Structure 1
Amino acid sequence: MGARVLVADDDPRQAEVVRRYLSADGHETVVVHDGRAALDAARRWRPDLLVLDVMMPALDGLAVCRTLHRESDVLVLMLTARGSEDDLLLGLELGADDYLTKPYSPRELMARVRTLLRRASSRGAAAAAGVGLRQVGRVGIDLASHQVSVDGRPVECTRGEFAILAAMAEQPERVFTRAQLLHHTRGIDRSSTERTIDVHVMNLRRKIEVDPPRPAQLVTVYGVGYKLSAGAARPA
């Protein structure tokens, strides 16, 4: 069964290529060419996935992503001609689920689309099956509702951050390499894998640790990676 996919790209020819590939894959597709139109269409049409160019008139893709992340759970695959690590990381911090740098192969884009939609479908199936809460020390991870809490208080996380916590909560005290954690964050651009995971972990520590510079739960294992520990929190 196809998904509803909104394509926002100010290059009409590129957008049409993407539309044709998506339609051939069975997805219902709408195309817009500026950020304002993308925001309006996303609010009105409520797509499952937004393929979002960063550089657009009226409102850029980063602003669109920031706004929609506050309003909905739409999946976001960002497209950009910018290749710098800072741009990639900013997109992730704003809630993008994956990031593809131009020029790209339409076949690679479709592979990313399928991966995002498949994992979203798996999460929905888990919710329907009543998958429960994972509690690791002070941190609660609700796999069904996709929510995180610390000492019972809700904490807002991006999908990438949640994916890391959910993977680690399944096996507390296990050390995960950055490459293993990247697999769980939907395969963000390979050019900045280690830095991407490090930024997710840094942001998570700000949200779940009593003393982020001296983490008690999301712990670094030097030379290997990270683990989620149930160890007692240090006092503030």
Structure 2
Amino acid sequence: MQANSANAKVLIVEDDPEIGKLLALAIQENGMMATVAENAHVMNALLRNNEFDLIILDVMLPGEDGLSICRRIRSEKTTPIILLTALGEEVDRIVGLEVGADDYVTKPFSPREVVARIRSLLRRASYGLVTTAVQRKLRFEGWQIDPLRRQLHDPSNARVAVTTTEFDLLLAFCRNPGRVITREELLSLTHTGLAGPIERSVDVHISRLRQKIEADPKTPVLLQTVRLGGYMFTANVEQS
């Protein structure tokens, strides 16, 4: 993962050649590298042989659709994903976040906006790399979170795949255990910047996080909702 957006490698999965070309040009003009794949088949071949720092994924693709692709990628990789969608309803955006996307852009869009969101996600994904002196590992209930490598391991020491946003949220909670954190504070603590999710999106990301760290996500113990307040992480957190 690049420590910043310079020379970052971006994969664009878009079947419309004009949109793909527009995005690639905007990305390249801002010092990054862009590769375009027109469908899941081409994308799969590229991912087998290359490492990318971020993926832009159109929802409406021929064959396997973007939501299915996003879900599949997220089960294997933590690479930041931005969804491109022509759907404007909040419910559709929430579905995209639920399958593991970090952000979304609604068509029609400004190339400058997309580039800004790319940079914001890359900053967040590389946050641990630029502050190595203070990034000590944190442990809770047998779990370990490594801010430097941006990795989460369960009590059996198996690595658990999380999105950029999920990692940022968990790190914020681990650094503020036992304290009620509002949604607005979470947006600030997670360095979301221009790519910051709306309040409803925060709830979706936390729901996904509970699916990964709670014994019973329907009755959360570690990550509790505080009525009219926000959320509180109840675990005892230790540095290592």
Q: Which of 228, 232, 235 is matched with 2:233 structurally?
A: 228
Q: What value does the CA root-mean-square deviation take over the aligned residues?
A: 2.6
Match of 2:204 in 1: 199
> Take 1:52 and 1:187, find their aligned partners in 2: how far apart are those partners?
21
Query: What residue identity is the alignment partner of 1:105?
Result: S
Contact 2:26 2:115 in 1 (8 A): yes
Change (3 A) 1:229 1:65: same
Instruction: Say whether the 8 Å CA contact 1:2–1:25 is kept in structure 2.
Output: no
Bigger relative contact order (CA 8 A; separation at least 6)? 2
Residues 147-192 of structure 1 deviation map (CA, whole Å, 9 limit, x = unaligned) = 33454554443332222111111111222211232342736877x7
**1:112 matched to 2:117:** yes
19-28 or 55-64, which deviates more: 55-64
* 1:69 and 2:57 matched: no
Shift of 1:223: 0.8
Measured in 2, the distance between the counterparts of 1:69 and 1:59 equals 15
TM-score by length of 1: 0.83
- Give the match for residue 34 of structure 1: 39
Give the corresponding residue for 1:19: 24
Q: Could you say what secondary structure the match of 2:100 adopts?
A: coil
Alignment partner of 1:186 out of 192, 195, 198: 192
Match of 2:152 among 148, 153, 159: 148
Amino acid corresponding to residue 26 of structure 2 in structure 1: Y
What amino acid maps onto 1:186 in structure 2?
T
CA contact (8 A) 2:54 2:80 kept: yes
CA deviations over 1:95-144 (Å, ceiling 9, x no partner) = 22211111211111111011112222323335x55822223455432222
How far 1:60 sits from its partner (Å)?
A: 1.6
Conserved in 1, the CA contact under 8 Å of 2:27 and 2:34? Answer: yes
Aligned to 1:234: none
Taking the TM superposition and a 5 Å limit, the aligned residue runs for 1:88-167 are 88-126=93-131, 129=133, 131-137=135-141, 139-152=143-156, 154=158, 155-167=160-172
- State TM-score, norm by structure 2: 0.82
Seen in structure 2, the aligned counterparts of structure 1 residues 5 and 211 have a Cα distance that, compared at 3 Å, is closer
> Contact conserved, 1:35 with 1:64, CA < 8 A, in 2?
yes
Query: For structure 1, which segment, 12-21 or 195-204, has the greater mean C-alpha deviation from structure 2 after superposition?
Result: 195-204
Give distance in 1, aligned partners of 2:182 and 2:38. Answer: 40
5+ residue gaps, structure 2, are 1-5
Separation of aligned partners in 2, 1:28 and 1:157: 25
Mark the CA change 1:8 to 1:95 in structure 2 (over 3 Å): closer, same or farther.
same
User: How many Å separate the matches in 2 of 1:89 and 1:135?
Assistant: 30
1:43-86 per-position Cα deviation (integer Å, ceiling 9, x unaligned):
22322111111111132222222232233332211111112333
Contact persistence 1:95–1:159 (CA under 8 A): no
> Percent of aligned pairs with the same residue?
39
Contact 1:5 1:28 (8 Å CA) reproduced: yes
Structure-2 separation of matches of 1:71 and 1:149: 15
Q: Paired residues, what number?
A: 229
Q: CA 1:71–1:176 in 2, change beyond 3 Å: closer, same or farther?
A: same
Indicate conservation of the 8 Å contact 2:124/2:164, yes or no. Answer: no
Asked whether the 8 Å contact 1:209–1:215 carries over to 2, the reply is yes
